[in-house]
Structure 1
Amino acid sequence: MNLTHIECRQRGAALTVQDYRVELDLSNAVDPGADTYRSATTLRFSSTADATWVDLVADRVARATLNGQPVDTSTYDGARLPLTGLRAENELHVEAHCRYSRTGEGMHRFTDPQDDRTYLYTHLEPTDSRRMFACFEQPDLKAQFTFVVTAPKEWEIASGQAAASRTEDELTATVTFEPTPRQSSYITAVAAGPYRRESDVWSISRPDGTTQKVRLGLLCRQSMAQFASAEEVFAITKHGLDFFDEAFAYPYPWGKYDQIFVPEYNLGAMENPGLVTFTDSFLYRGRATDLQREQRAEVIMHEMAHMWFGDLATPAWWDDLWLKESFADLMGYQTAAEAVGFPGAWILFALGRKQWAYTQDQRPSTHPIVATIDDLEAARQNFDGITYAKGAAVLKQLQAYVGRDAFFAGAQQYFADHAFGSTTLDDLLSALESSSGRDLRTWSNLWLQTAGPSLLSFATTRDEHGAITDLVIQQDAMDSMTGEAISRPHRLRVGLYALEGDRLTRVTVIDVEVAGTHTPVPEATGVSADLVIVNDDDLTYAVVRLDGPSVQAAGRHLSTIDEPLSRALVWSSLWNMVRDRALPARTFIESALAQAPTERNATLLQQILTLAHTAVCHYATPTQRPELRQRLAASALEHLRSAAPGTDAQQVWARSVARFGALHGGTAGNIEALLDGRDVIEGLPMDPDLRWELATALAAQGRFGADALAAELNRDSTMSGRLAHDKALASLPGTATKDAVWQSLVADATITNDTQRALLAGFDAPASSADRAHLADRYFASLIDWWRSMPQTMATRLVVGLFPPADLSEGQDPQQHPVIQRAKQWLDEHQSAEAALRRNVIEQAADTEHYLLAQAYAQSQV
């Protein structure tokens, strides 16, 4: 099943692919007993080699011919069909029976329990187009694709291009789609089912006199149509197309722009050109908060950016995955903030997305943004916080470093030079060097080809009146791969804040170019400042450390700062100090308890409370937790009652009542009253999702049993309700519950990806972590079997989600904890295990050891 870079590079050098014709017969999809569908592929290619192979994962190959001659299909091994006797020009025809998926890979089939309608959609990244048709499964072998799809005639049938023709018989319709422009196989797409479609049109008239019209579509299953928010999604889409049309100076190249929201999706979204796929959890069943709408807008913009970064110009191999994902991640947040009308997107980036990067970058498995990817198993693992979040943050710094105009001018040149082609790092650097006039090779070496974050701190001296006489920014960075000290250039802003009464006000902001280990900031001389924010406005990627006076001022007055992004950056610094054992978790939680109630920005409020939840679950000592959990649960209930009716803040506090109520039973009676209607909060709709969150909290505390949860399921028997019910059942305390959930997760061959996620989320309920500690030996004994018997996505979730819990006993050495020792033993005994599996175990052990060390630090500060 695996493919190596070396063999794919050799194949890519020998082959040029002209086109594919892929015929799919999906007419049996409504029959639950039909496990496979017919796939027939005709592909034409040139070759300078005598032999190669075609990739295909199918139940069986029915027939294959090469240049009209039969191919010996007995040589098919389940993943590759060898081809010999190649000519300069070749035509291959392969007929196979491919399997419908329930794990989100290839052709996924879902039957909606609400109305018994069946839906199909595809997900093919990075290497699953071979699960749908015979192909050369590597991104640099681009081609034209013509899809011909047969399905029940009452269904919507869609692909990346518009339909060229449609024929019908009594039961089925066959749609032949227009040929695609040249593209990689992993971004082809097909969907079929009784989807509900909404339509619109985007058009533009450019200053040069050219015009363009693009048909827009929004598709979702029938039972979710009432939640589709088509008007808002289309408005976001049009703003994004306006922005990218101007920014990239390359007209949208894919004809139409359909966006389909689908169930049981493994990812948030996927950039299939002309048929972009999203999880339908973005179709909110209750009142959507600004945070939810910001998140959806960011993801829509991320995928739209891929129409250029990734689809038009595609990385030649997965070591340059960042060439599409880092750019799309940055563009998603930037466009949502600047063009779509969600300025809070930058708060999500600073306090949410970049925390993913900092966490990933401090693990043993960190890697440069431009990574070495030897095979496709490694490629799957590198869809991570480095490739996405760190890459995006570093590109934001590059935009500040070369200037916004030069940055986008370089992107324009990149697309003009490499449209419908394959690219590498050098292609992008050449375009940006041309537009900016800067030599970016040194910048690239320091930022893109080293691992680990920079640490920026500062030292000040002050006169007798408190005015700064000297401020120096200090940089400490080490390449995590080599251990060598590095000094990255940072173009950033330093904000100086002073207390005026009881408010922190920014009195000045200074543009600074940090170079070397010590950078003086003479412009700060004479300024009285109680709080210093290095990297104000969030232009660079670095862990920023506050000094003692700044921590003190922030702890008391942070919520008074006018700019929410600046508040978010200080919270980020405080959180990183907790992670790095420079600030006790209790201190952070005390700040959250004191300042969250006066936080005016609901997006930031939710982020603060999320971090407080993580702090009490993982970073506080076990002896501190009962009191802190009780205070957080009581605070959430108190501020739910005082929040303005119908506001986002009220929604955030309501969900926090559930989240913290799951940790401590002190508010269980209040939650029961909310659920049964004895307590009604003005302006708070008790929508199905909130009901399930509250019910799950009671389940986690043992206050709701199976019968009560069954009653909730009777209220909401939709797919979402069934998954919430699964999670709530798995949240129940007791070793018997955890044993039963474990068995369902590891032994049920029919389990779907969504059910797996729901069960894992409940299994991991913090209040009952001790009830699953006895499964540690079983976990380590099962790892190899999971990895070799399951799809990698499903196996990865088990390796991560079932890792044994661990808390620190008083006086215990964190590194001698039995779970840490057991993980190290497994790694020592399985050095030849698959690299991707070992990486997952290493990361989970490192995270656990990190938590234990933080708990030991918290103990030492009591």
Structure 2
Amino acid sequence: MSTANLTRAETAERSRAIDVLGYRVELDVLGAVDREVGTFATTTTVEFTARTSTTWLDFLGAGVESVTVNGADVPVDYDGARIALTGLHESNVVTVGARGEYSRSGEGLHRFLDPADGQTYLYTQYEPADARRVFACFEQPDLKAPFTFVVSAPREWEVVSNQRVVEREDTTGGQVVTFAPTLSISTYITAVVAGPYHRVDSEWSGGDVTIPLGVLCRASLAQYLDADTIFEITRQGLGFFTENFDYPYPFGKYDQVFVPEYNLGAMENPGCVTFTEAYVFRGAATDSQYEGRANTILHEMAHMWFGDLVTMVWWDDLWLKESFADYMGALANAEATRWTDAWVAFANRRKAWAYLQDQLPTTHPIVADIVDLEAAKLNFDGITYAKGASVLKQLVAYAGRDAFFEGARRYFRAHAFGNTTLTDLLTELSATSGRDLTSWARAWLQTTGVSALSLQRGADGCASIVQTDPRPHRLGVGRYDFDDTGDLVCVQRIEVDLADAHTPIDLADAPLVLLNDADLTYAKVRLDDRSLTTVETSLDRVRDPLARGLIWSSLWNATRDSELGATRYLSMAQRFSPAESHLTLLTSVLANAPYAIEHFLPEPSRDAARLDWLELTWRALWDAPPASGSQLAWARAVASAAAMDGSRAADIRSILEAGGPAPSGLALDPDLRWGFWGALAATGHADDADLDGELRRDDTGSGRTAYLRAKFSRPDPDVKAKAWESILHDRTLSNEHLGAIIAGFRAGARHDLVEGYGAGYFASIGSVWEERSIEIARRIVVGLFPSETTLDAADGWLATHADAPAALRRLVLEQRDHLARDLRAQAFNSLPDVTG
């Protein structure tokens, strides 16, 4: 195993041997503006006590130049990942001088050149273990310490870190910025951001505490930054969490920075939260997008307590922060902001991610067995986030909200600035709830899989709930009937405790019975025959958006599981989506329907289905209220559908051309224009001249990424061959540009152009994993998986590569399972009783 892949066992041993007292990290990025300069100077001074004479510091970079141990220069013993330390005393001061490498993968210190104005921007991203790409450190979450950062940078740059600036000194050709020491935190949540960022300041006051607030983005995006809206959400969140956690925000200031080419939605660095700049909307955005951004802001804020203040010992307990932040983000959104129905998005979008992940052969318990860093990197998944959050929502229903929050408060007070495991949390929650949560944790946190709940109606009027993979659930059962206006409304809701495979319930007959009404538990819900018949004719009459969302979710899960015909699902999507008023639900249906066409329908049925869906989206676009969120959602759906069927190519080009007919009120912002051009490119209706012209119109960071995707979407064998070559061999591509070329390679309906690359894929992924960073390798392994291949090809690789890295095998296993699901669905949807 590579020494870069730290294991749980060895980091636990190191933790028993040392205690870290503090770091001083000096970074010199004065040369960052010169693209020919690929490295930066990094000097770390770390103080620690030791109960051993030997240990190591972690560092991934261009080289280590010097090591000083307790004032004495010692020979450099560096293997490319670890710096060996020997001759240690009880108290030690070690200084390491090294050269770090600027990143283009979004890992470590990422450097971005803005094509809009030629400016250079830097930011760091570390989780789970990339701080060692920037400075030498003990790279594990349980070795917390205070950090003092000192950054040399160009004079005109904004420089931001976890703490406030205490000194800024002008020097020849630049500035030296010194930050106040942080509180005791883990390496992976330290941060440095530097560049000519545009900054807006404000503050929040709560009680006797005033917190300075900052929002930053690239200068070329300043005109699009809606800082006031972001500050509003931030203040609402700080008020909500401070009150409910009864523990003041501890990290002094709260900067939020929107950064380019980001691999994540956001990262919870205390005092310096980083976000994808996709949240700086360059044009029109739906209310669902604003809600999603608010949820992310609140998710990261919850981490200030769950994760930053109290941190897991090792990545097995990653859920102790991610599950809680996912749950708390939705809760705060629903209770502290204008998105009072935020649980609709949680039920329909976040849980869909969990259901998908939990049915893969690589699913794992919420409390996972994470033996090394490669496994940790892949564990930021739907189980750790969305299933964990769903289970916490069930815990609140089971133990009571007051007991849950009091347990959280006790947890923060008992473990502030420390590290915890599952046992520590259960101790506090059991004490406040008066329940022994050991069996609950065993059933929910230490098992895998998702239960399916269905209603059995007997001829005698009796009913029972049938549960596969039984677990204890507290859930609502809703009876829905038509009111005087013809709407379907809940006329009775009862709470039921399930534990067994069959649970009788006393429920009067109704046209629609909805299990898990109010979405209290984590389970797939099946509609009984009568309820499905009602839904099939009257889904648009269900007025409660959460109930409607649960029904849409049930329909989609049944389609994925080949229990509901894809054509039947598509029929409901076509009938009811134009009337769907909740934008989150509409967006989900507009994504699921084309997925069903491409993955679940047998190949002979796809052309007709593609055309039907394109025509539906086209009509809905023109019928949607002008300048509305639904109009924008339908315009994006047209772009997606038109990438698979070129029948509307001339009409779309007409919209793009100045003066051509277009739906009233449609805002043709750069992103939507690229969506349309990408569709034309994928069907062979746009050439290099078209795309080059659009790039001249939008020669920005986002524009260049969209250009690459469109360019490599064209249905031309030479284009696909060039894309393949670039993906595998061009090491100058950034993470975002690599992703765009992969998306272009896979785009469109001409699968015949890429099906010949399957053998090359399986021949290449071993070396890709060995030679590329894990983020870049993951994008390639997942993005290029040949969905046109047979299961035999994937099985053959797995059989002959049993000794491949576990993380690589996991990715291939997951893609193989998606393919197997597609093939099962296609066979199911070929049956006469399904198609007929």
Please, what TM-score do these two structures have when normalized by structure 2?
Answer: 0.98
Q: State the partner residue of 1:584.
A: 565
Q: Partner letter of residue 516 of structure 1?
A: D
Q: Is the 8 A contact 1:139 1:184 kept in 2?
A: yes
Q: Is the 8 A contact 1:617 1:766 kept in 2?
A: no
Q: Are 2:230 and 1:233 aligned?
A: yes
Q: Are 2:790 and 1:819 aligned?
A: yes
Of 172, 175, 183, the match for 1:173? 175
Of stretches 746-755 and 596-605 in structure 1, the one that deviates more from structure 2 is 596-605
Q: Distance in 2 between matches of 1:326 and 1:204?
A: 27
Q: Distance in 2 between matches of 1:81 and 1:603?
A: 50
Q: State the partner residue of 1:392.
A: 389
Of 568, 577, 594, the match for 2:549? 568
Query: Any idea what the Cα deviations from partners look like across 1:16-46, whole Å, max 9, x if unmatched?
Result: 1000000111111111111111111110001
Of 149, 152, 168, the match for 2:151? 149
Of 257, 261, 278, the match for 1:260? 257
Q: Partner letter of residue 774 of structure 1?
A: G
Deviation at 1:746, TM superposition (A): 0.7
Q: State the partner residue of 1:841.
A: 812
Where do residues 254-653 of structure 1 align in structure 2 (5 Å cutoff)? 254-461=251-458, 469-477=461-469, 487-500=470-483, 502-522=486-506, 524=507, 527-653=508-634
Q: Are 2:658 and 1:666 aligned?
A: no
Q: Are 2:789 and 1:789 aligned?
A: no
Q: Distance in 2 between matches of 1:569 and 1:540?
A: 12
Q: Partner letter of residue 489 of structure 2?
A: T
Q: Partner letter of residue 725 of structure 1?
A: Y
Deviation at 1:766, TM superposition (A): 3.8
Query: Any idea what the Cα deviations from partners look like across 1:655-677, whole Å, max 9, x if unmatched?
Result: 11111111112222221111113
Query: Any idea what the Cα deviations from partners look like across 1:75-120, whole Å, max 9, x if unmatched?
Result: 2001001111111111101000111111111111111001000011
Q: State the partner residue of 1:831.
A: 802
Q: Are 2:85 and 1:101 aligned?
A: no
Q: Distance in 1 between matches of 2:74 and 2:495?
A: 67
Q: State the partner residue of 1:480.
A: none
Q: Distance in 1 between matches of 2:142 and 2:571?
A: 53
Which segments of 5 or more consecutive residues in structure 2 lack a partner in the other structure? none
Of stretches 312-321 and 668-677 in structure 1, the one that deviates more from structure 2 is 668-677
Q: Is the 8 A contact 2:149 2:161 kept in 1?
A: yes
- SS of 1:214's equivalent in the other structure is strand
Deviation at 1:461, TM superposition (A): 2.5
Deviation at 1:819, TM superposition (A): 2.1
Q: Partner letter of residue 116 of structure 1?
A: G
Q: Distance in 2 between matches of 1:832 and 1:69?
A: 43
Q: Is the 8 A contact 1:344 1:603 kept in 2?
A: no
Q: Is the 8 A contact 2:129 2:188 kept in 1?
A: yes
Q: Is the 8 A contact 1:271 1:306 kept in 2?
A: yes
Q: Is the 8 A contact 1:498 1:528 kept in 2?
A: no
Q: Distance in 2 between matches of 1:14 and 1:43?
A: 15
Q: Is the 8 A contact 2:683 2:748 kept in 1?
A: no
Deviation at 1:71, TM superposition (A): 2.4
Structure 1 outlier segments of 4+, above 6 Å: none
- SS of 1:859's equivalent in the other structure is coil
Deviation at 1:499, TM superposition (A): 3.4
Deviation at 1:344, TM superposition (A): 4.2
Q: Is the 8 A contact 2:5 2:372 kept in 1?
A: yes
Of stretches 42-51 and 731-740 in structure 1, the one that deviates more from structure 2 is 731-740
Q: Is the 8 A contact 1:107 1:123 kept in 2?
A: yes
- SS of 1:646's equivalent in the other structure is coil
Q: Distance in 1 between matches of 2:771 and 2:434?
A: 53
Q: State the partner residue of 2:676.
A: 694
Which segments of 5 or more consecutive residues in structure 1 lack a partner in the other structure? 206-210, 464-468, 478-486, 807-817
Q: State the partner residue of 1:164.
A: 166
Query: Any idea what the Cα deviations from partners look like across 1:259-304, whole Å, max 9, x if unmatched?
Result: 0000011111100000000010110111121011011001101100
Of 7, 15, 21, the match for 1:4? 7
Query: Any idea what the Cα deviations from partners look like across 1:728-776, whole Å, max 9, x if unmatched?
Result: 1111112222111111111101010010111122222141222100000
Deviation at 1:502, TM superposition (A): 4.5
Q: Distance in 2 between matches of 1:668 and 1:58?
A: 49
Of stretches 259-268 and 502-511 in structure 1, the one that deviates more from structure 2 is 502-511
Q: Distance in 1 between matches of 2:459 and 2:245?
A: 48
- SS of 1:826's equivalent in the other structure is helix
- SS of 1:494's equivalent in the other structure is strand
Q: Distance in 2 between matches of 1:24 and 1:397?
A: 46
Of 812, 819, 827, the match for 1:856? 827
Query: Any idea what the Cα deviations from partners look like across 1:370-425, whole Å, max 9, x if unmatched?
Result: 00011111100111111111111111111111111111111111101000000000
Q: Is the 8 A contact 1:779 1:803 kept in 2?
A: yes
Q: Are 2:805 and 1:805 aligned?
A: no
Q: State the partner residue of 2:91.
A: 89
Q: Distance in 1 between matches of 2:609 and 2:49?
A: 67
Q: State the partner residue of 2:129.
A: 127
Q: Distance in 1 between matches of 2:490 and 2:748?
A: 40
Q: Are 2:769 and 1:769 aligned?
A: no
Q: Is the 8 A contact 2:41 2:99 kept in 1?
A: yes
Q: Partner letter of residue 468 of structure 2?
A: D
Where do residues 42-57 of structure 1 align in structure 2 (5 Å cutoff)? 42-57=45-60
Q: Partner letter of residue 474 of structure 1?
A: V
Q: Are 2:701 and 1:719 aligned?
A: yes
Query: Any idea what the Cα deviations from partners look like across 1:564-603, whole Å, max 9, x if unmatched?
Result: 1110100101111011110111110000000111112222
Please, what TM-score do these two structures have when normalized by structure 1?
Answer: 0.95
Query: Any idea what the Cα deviations from partners look like across 1:195-250, whole Å, max 9, x if unmatched?
Result: 00000000012xxxxx1100000011100111111000000000000000011110
Q: State the partner residue of 1:483.
A: none
Q: Distance in 1 between matches of 2:572 and 2:355?
A: 22
Alignment size in residue pairs: 828
Q: Is the 8 A contact 1:730 1:738 kept in 2?
A: yes
Query: Any idea what the Cα deviations from partners look like across 1:610-654, whole Å, max 9, x if unmatched?
Result: 111111111111111111111111111111111111111111111
Deviation at 1:726, TM superposition (A): 0.6
Of 94, 110, 113, the match for 1:111? 113
Deviation at 1:545, TM superposition (A): 1.1
Q: Partner letter of residue 95 of structure 2?
A: H
Where do residues 239-258 of structure 1 align in structure 2 (5 Å cutoff)? 239-258=236-255
Instruction: Kindly report the root-mean-square deviation, in angstroms, between the aligned alpha carbons of the 2 structures.
Output: 1.1
Q: Distance in 2 between matches of 1:377 and 1:123?
A: 16
Q: Partner letter of residue 615 of structure 1?
A: A
